[in-house]
Amino acid sequence: MKHFINLEDIPAKDLRKILIDAKKRKKARKKLNNLESDKGAPLRGKLLIQMFEKSSLRTRLSFYLAIKQLGGSTLTLRPDELHLSKGGESIEDTAKILSNFGNAFMFRTGNDFMLEEFGKYLSIPIINGLSPSSHPTQILSDVFTVEEIKKKAISKLSISWIGDSNNVLNSLIAASTKFSFKLKIGCPKNYQPDQKIINYIKKKRNKVSIFYDPKKAAEGADVIFSDKVISMNDKVNKRKKLNSFKKFTIDKKLMSFAKKDCIFLHCLPRGSEVNDEVFLSKQSKVWHQALNRVHVQKSILLYCFGKLR
């Protein structure tokens, strides 16, 4: 069994195997309904326990369908109904119970430490469904979407991120190392990735550049990504932060600096970082992107269970 906590810790060849499996599975179930299982139902009888300390629509729904399509089932726990947060039950004891009752644990948390702690004590796989510092299932799925739409390996494409330096960007940076693609980041100077991330970029010598001018970051892009300026875990002066990002709003003018066939991706939910004209345009592939999470999460689950074909 394997955990899926951060892309940095997973070998590139395993990440590629997950994407290859997702492609095969997606193709093989074209005629099936959402709740019908894949041929062979490889996770028949398995229970995925999900817990969300923060809101979620897409991650919740896509994991629900993912495990169902593999023949298993899911149960969602509310953290405020557990002894863990109210009665002081330890993470170690909670993890022991989760491991005895379930077969995998998908966790969205407001505290990275909790992920590591659960990872230490669980004897079943843990999957990071978003933490303050990363969102690995989202980005792995986004690499899948990019390659599917562009019909090219992502290493041959120029990827841009225009927006906040947050959890989703951190995972995109990790992906740029694992899949070896060029990444241009456009953000205000005061909101660039933190020193730990800059050190990671330097250490891995990957092709990441940071621009304080959004036009420069958009130039020649095959894909432009963005995300909300204010994330769920942000403890900042919201008005001040939103003001600093005004020049970075993604509109038609900014998109015109990218390649003609550039696509726009956004993990959702959205805020003011992109206007409707772009978000609802043909270039925007956000709905397709959201649905692909089901397919990639199935292969992530199989990877965790040691059952990748």
Catalytic residues: 108, 135, 138, 227, 267, 293
* Whole-angstrom distance, CA of residue 130 vs CA of residue 167: 8
Residue 256 token pair = 């015109």
57 binds, among ligand NVA, ligand CP, none (CB under 5 to 8 A by kind): ligand CP
CA end-to-end span of the chain, whole Å? Answer: 15
* Whole-angstrom distance, CA of residue 235 vs CA of residue 121: 29
228 binds, among ligand NVA, ligand CP, none (CB under 5 to 8 A by kind): ligand NVA
Residue 193 token pair = 């990735």
82 binds, among ligand CP, ligand NVA, none (CB under 5 to 8 A by kind): none
> Do residues 229 and 191 touch, judged by C-beta distance below 8 A?
no
* Whole-angstrom distance, CA of residue 246 vs CA of residue 192: 15
> Do residues 155 and 180 touch, judged by C-beta distance below 8 A?
yes
Binding of residue 242 to ligand NVA (CB under 6 A): no
Binding of residue 95 to ligand CP (CB under 6 A): no
Stretch that binds ligand NVA, among 109-117, 154-162, 164-172, 212-220 (CB under 6 A): 164-172
- State the alpha helices, DSSP H only, in 70-188: 83-86, 91-101, 112-121, 136-150, 167-178
Of 59, 109, 283, 292, the residue at the interface with ligand CP (CB under 6 A) is 59
Q: Report the residue closest to ligand CP, judged by CB.
A: 59
- Cβ 53 to ligand NVA shortest distance, Å: 12
Binding of residue 138 to ligand CP (CB under 6 A): yes
Stretch that binds ligand CP, among 21-29, 56-64, 145-153, 157-165 (CB under 6 A): 56-64
Of 267, 274, 286, 304, the residue at the interface with ligand CP (CB under 6 A) is 267
- Cβ 198 to ligand CP shortest distance, Å: 25
17 binds, among ligand NVA, ligand CP, none (CB under 5 to 8 A by kind): none
Binding of residue 197 to ligand NVA (CB under 6 A): no
Q: What number of residues does the chain have? A: 309
Could you tell me which residues are beta bridge partners of residue 222?
A: none
Helix (H, G, I), strand (E, B) or coil at 9: helix
180 binds, among ligand CP, ligand NVA, none (CB under 5 to 8 A by kind): none
DSSP code per residue over 266-307: E-S---TTB-HHHHTSTTB-HHHHHHHHHHHHHHHHHHHTT-
37 binds, among ligand CP, ligand NVA, none (CB under 5 to 8 A by kind): none
Instruction: Give the nearer residue to ligand NVA in terms of CB position, either 18 or 168.
Output: 168
What is the C-alpha radius of gyration for the chain, rounded to an integer number of angstroms?
A: 19
Binding of residue 166 to ligand NVA (CB under 6 A): yes
Binding of residue 109 to ligand CP (CB under 6 A): no
- Phi, psi angle pair for 272, to nearest 5°: -90, 5
* Whole-angstrom distance, CA of residue 235 vs CA of residue 48: 31
> Do residues 108 and 53 touch, judged by C-beta distance below 8 A?
yes
Residue numbers 130-159 binding ligand NVA by CB under 6 A: 130, 135
Per CB under 6 A, residues contacting ligand NVA are 130, 135, 166-168, 227-228, 231-233, 267
Per CB under 6 A, residues contacting ligand CP are 56-60, 130, 138, 267-268
